[in-house]
Amino acid sequence: MLLTIKKVLSRQQLMMIKKLLQNAEFVDGKLSAGKEAEAVKNNLELSQQSPLQQQLNTMVMNTLLQNKTYQQVAYPYRVATPFYVRYTKGMAYGFHVDDPVMGVMGQQYRTDVSTTLFLNEPVEYEGGELLIQTAFGEQRVKLNAGDAVVYPSSRLHRVTEVTQGERFAAVIWAQSIIKNAEQRELLHELSTARDSLLNTQPNNEQTRHVSNVYSNLVRMWSVF
């Protein structure tokens, strides 16, 4: 499932993030690439040793993890520290699938869910669309600053060449308690219906039935 979450970050947060990134130290993105991605990756990433990492993570991670829609789509168990990426003119990222396991030895996690959080407005750069292969064809994503797109890490995807301006984004991976992407999609649809029923008919017998089914499916499909 590919899902867009609007306004994850506030305007005030985006202004602060933009200010921090303006003079930040970026390094070659190939340094963090796996063997497959290294051949097609051409971007910059905020240095992992940058003193700005903690400030950025406090805003980005705390806000994302508290977002109810993200919780209902990703069912996160472990969430990695974001990579803050920058694309200047001529940069792109060819088709690839995210590495199945990331992290250093002893702190590894399986990548089930990928999230791209856009940090600057689409009018600030040309090109730079995120293209994701889905069962319904190729989906082209270029969102407003503060919006995020969530999709299975197993999906083939790429970032088209930036032809003008600069593109900034945060890329985040999560290991989900629900390993199977199709099961996560079904649970998201069921949880949306459940929430609607709880809001409109909290004491209805069918509402309780739907809620019970949802809870028991999470219990059945959880990797624990």
Planar angle of CA 8, 14, 19, nearest 5 degrees: 155
Amino acid at 92: A
> Structural domain boundaries of the chain?
3-176, 181-221
**Which residue's structure tokens are 């088209």?**
160
Average pLDDT, the chain: 94
Reference 42, options 148, 158, 183; nearest CA is 158
**Alpha carbon of 88 to those of 42, 91, 125, 151, 165: distances in Å?**
10, 6, 9, 24, 6
Homologous superfamily (CATH) for 3-176: q2cbj1_9rhob like domain (2.60.120.620)
Residue, of 103 and 190, whose pLDDT is higher? 190
CA 189 to chain centre: 19
For the residues 189-206, what does the mean pLDDT come to?
Answer: 95
**Which residue's structure tokens are 């109810």?**
68
Confidence at residue 17, expressed as pLDDT on a 0 to 100 scale? 97
Q: What is the tens place of the pLDDT at every residue in 158-191? A: 999 999 999 999 999 999 999 999 999 999 999 9
CB of 170 closer than 8 Å to CB of 65: no
The yes-or-no verdict on residue 199 having pLDDT over 80 is yes
For the residues 70-75, what does the mean pLDDT come to?
Answer: 96
> pLDDT class for 35, splitting at 50, 70, 90?
low
The pTM for the full model equals 0.93
